[in-house]
Structure 1
Amino acid sequence: MLRVTQTKNSLLDGASIAEELYTTPKDGEDFFESLDKPEKEPTKLAPRNTFIRPGVLTTVRGSAYMEYGNTKVLAIVAPPKELIRASARRMNMGVLNCYVNFAAFATGDLESVAERERHLGSMLTKAMEPVVCRTEFLNFQLDIRVLILDDDGCLLSTAINCCGVALVECGISTYDLITASTACIFRDHVFLNPSAKVEELLWKHRGNSNTNATSSTSSVQEHGLIITASMDTFEQIAQCQQCGYLSPATYVKLLDYTLTINKSLRQLIRGVLTKRVKEQHELDLREKAESALEDQRLEDIIEKLKKQGLDEFIQSNIKEDPYVKRI
């Protein structure tokens, strides 16, 4: 059952919001039973329906918008700026900072928003640091800001993908394209790209598995989530976050699943960036052609001035208004 409470907030003044997804373990049980259970060994390793658009903001140099299912994320990358002298210290690499903010309508649990923003910002920073060529801007700071518009699961992995596209759009040197995906297991069922309800179910009710002080390790029911960010060109993992209890064999299995999904996302992102470069090239050619026409028009005017003189040129360009009666 969904419990609704009144929460006082400056952005949502007295609005009714959902505080918790489930109120009792039985609610979670009912939800799990109502799910269309996926296969224990998935055969279709593909990302969600994905929409990516780089350069969505004209006021900044690097930006990207991504929809991963119903999860919606906007990333903004500002050019590197010099560190403040008071806080600057000599180092052989630049500083990368990632900041995450939730839109006021993106989540109902307002009490934990600040903590989630700090956690996601820290995880995002750790994921992006191996990708950026920080040796190219010594004593400079690069800020990446992410705005969460809607959260329907796979939030961190979606933010990583969106930031990778925004970095390329901004022209920041990177070692490779970074892609990330999420997988989890609950009661022997593997969920690829889990929704927010599945993630909430995993965290709220994982303590109700067959774990107790007298049970053996073999009887413990596996439950956990893994988020993998990878760079496929070098076959390197930029970040791998694991939560919950997973056996080594299950961990490797979920890791392989996420890496396969990452490769599919990489092809999608490459296609989007390639299309973006072609669009920009066509725009540059169009602007160049328009500039050439304008230059030719100015040259013709100058030639007429040289031949006719200023007064004659002005008189030749004065035209009579056909709608005005001559007195």
Structure 2
Amino acid sequence: MLRGTQTKNNLLDGGTIAEQLYATPKDCEDIFDSIEKPSALIATPRPTFIRSGVLTTVRGSAYMEYGNTKVLAIVAPPHELMRASARRVNMGVLNCYVNFAAFATGELESAPERERHLGSMLTKALEPVVCRNELLNFQLDIRVLILDDDGCLLSTAINCCGVALVECGISTYDIIAASTACIYRDHVFVNPDAKVEELLWQHRGGNALVGATADTTSTPPVVREHGLLVTASMDTFEQIAQCQQCGYLKPATYARLLDCTLEINKSLRELIKNTIRARVKEQYALDLREQAESAQEDERLKTVIESLKQQGLDEFIQSNIKEDPYTKR
């Protein structure tokens, strides 16, 4: 296998893999043969970990691990727009900013372009979810930090931001969930990793249109179905917040991938709801503990006040004065 340094994945900014890993059709064939092919279409999410309220310095934050993809989202409280900008909008403004950690990508020169692209798609996905009519003349900023990228980056960021919005107390129409599916060489990959997404990009570039042993001189290359679909949905209203497709898909295949991603979204939605419930219970237990500590402090102060009333001020002060052992020597 070829070696190289890490660089960006140009297909939906899906993954960070080795540079020039699939430089020729033969390389694509070798990598495709080494990938484990799914035997059946199983609409289940990756091993997922979600935690809300991970940062105490901000009001809304969430951390999510979707397989090896790791994302941190931060939501700041809305702030008022400048008067010149407020005249041009009749709803709240939502801005999403995406940044890659220095160790998450190997090609730092292309990172700003990827960050702007992901931020734009993330904003489009979250705008239908936030009740922007309640944020008139206000701006809401969401910041996402990519810690590790192994495919399904956009869908993972959408899920993480949805949890952070709830943690921040921002009014939303529903809980949003997103997932990714793709097809390559008649195989449907659910939650594709960075290698599969890069194979799709090379297919679009012409390096994987035909097999390595195919004779392209006598017959034209055969264009196979290849494409990736990212779907973000709100199940309560049965509404799709964002559906982004790239590649070549037949209508029947498109519908098949769409049904698959929507099924995965239902599972992720239940996981997100359980995470939010656990966070509410945790916060409730913390509030009860603070109330108990406050009640104990009130009882202690009440006892001190009663002693002060019974003994008098001078006697109370004298009874609480202790000699300095160093002065006594």
Looking at structure 1, the residues matched to 264 and 5 of structure 2 have their Cα atoms a distance apart, in angstroms, of 38
In the superposition, the TM-score normalised over structure 2's length comes to 0.89
Determine if the alignment matches structure 1 residue 271 to structure 2 residue 274.
yes
Find the counterpart in structure 2 of residue 254 from structure 1: 257
Looking at structure 2, the residues matched to 30 and 111 of structure 1 have their Cα atoms a distance apart, in angstroms, of 29
In the superposition, the TM-score normalised over structure 1's length comes to 0.90
Looking at structure 2, the residues matched to 300 and 111 of structure 1 have their Cα atoms a distance apart, in angstroms, of 66
CA pair 220-284 structure 1, distance change in 2 beyond 3 A: same
Looking at structure 1, the residues matched to 45 and 198 of structure 2 have their Cα atoms a distance apart, in angstroms, of 20
1:130 aligned to which of 128, 131, 134? 128
Contact in 1 for aligned 2:69/2:153 (Cα 8 Å): yes
Deviation at 1:84, TM superposition (A): 1.5
Q: Which has the higher contact order (CA 8 A, sep 6+)?
A: 2
Looking at structure 1, the residues matched to 82 and 25 of structure 2 have their Cα atoms a distance apart, in angstroms, of 51
Q: Percent identity?
A: 78
Contact in 1 for aligned 2:182/2:227 (Cα 8 Å): yes
What SS does structure 2 have at the residue aligned with 1:87? helix
Looking at structure 2, the residues matched to 262 and 66 of structure 1 have their Cα atoms a distance apart, in angstroms, of 15
CA-based RMSD = 2.4
Deviation at 1:90, TM superposition (A): 4.7
- The runs of 4+ residues in structure 1 deviating greater than 4 Å are 323-327
What SS does structure 1 have at the residue aligned with 2:86? coil
CA pair 5-132 structure 1, distance change in 2 beyond 3 A: closer
What SS does structure 2 have at the residue aligned with 1:74? strand
Looking at structure 1, the residues matched to 139 and 93 of structure 2 have their Cα atoms a distance apart, in angstroms, of 5
Find the counterpart in structure 2 of residue 26 from structure 1: 26
Greater CA drift, 239-248 or 312-321: 312-321
Find the counterpart in structure 2 of residue 87 from structure 1: 85
Looking at structure 1, the residues matched to 273 and 118 of structure 2 have their Cα atoms a distance apart, in angstroms, of 25
Corresponding letter in the other structure for 2:2: L
Determine if the alignment matches structure 1 residue 171 to structure 2 residue 169.
yes
Looking at structure 2, the residues matched to 78 and 63 of structure 1 have their Cα atoms a distance apart, in angstroms, of 9
**Could you list the runs of 5+ residues in structure 2 that have no partner in the other structure?**
8-16
Corresponding letter in the other structure for 2:289: R
Deviation at 1:48, TM superposition (A): 0.3
Greater CA drift, 133-142 or 294-303: 294-303
Find the counterpart in structure 2 of residue 317 from structure 1: 320
Deviation at 1:307, TM superposition (A): 1.1
Corresponding letter in the other structure for 1:302: I
Looking at structure 2, the residues matched to 215 and 165 of structure 1 have their Cα atoms a distance apart, in angstroms, of 52
What SS does structure 1 have at the residue aligned with 2:297? helix
Deviation at 1:4, TM superposition (A): 3.2
Q: For this pair of structures, how many residues does the alignment match?
A: 313
**Mapping for residues 200-211 of structure 1, pairs under 5 Å:** 200-206=198-204, 207=206, 208-209=208-209
Greater CA drift, 109-118 or 263-272: 109-118
Deviation at 1:19, TM superposition (A): 3.1
Corresponding letter in the other structure for 1:176: D
Corresponding letter in the other structure for 2:295: A
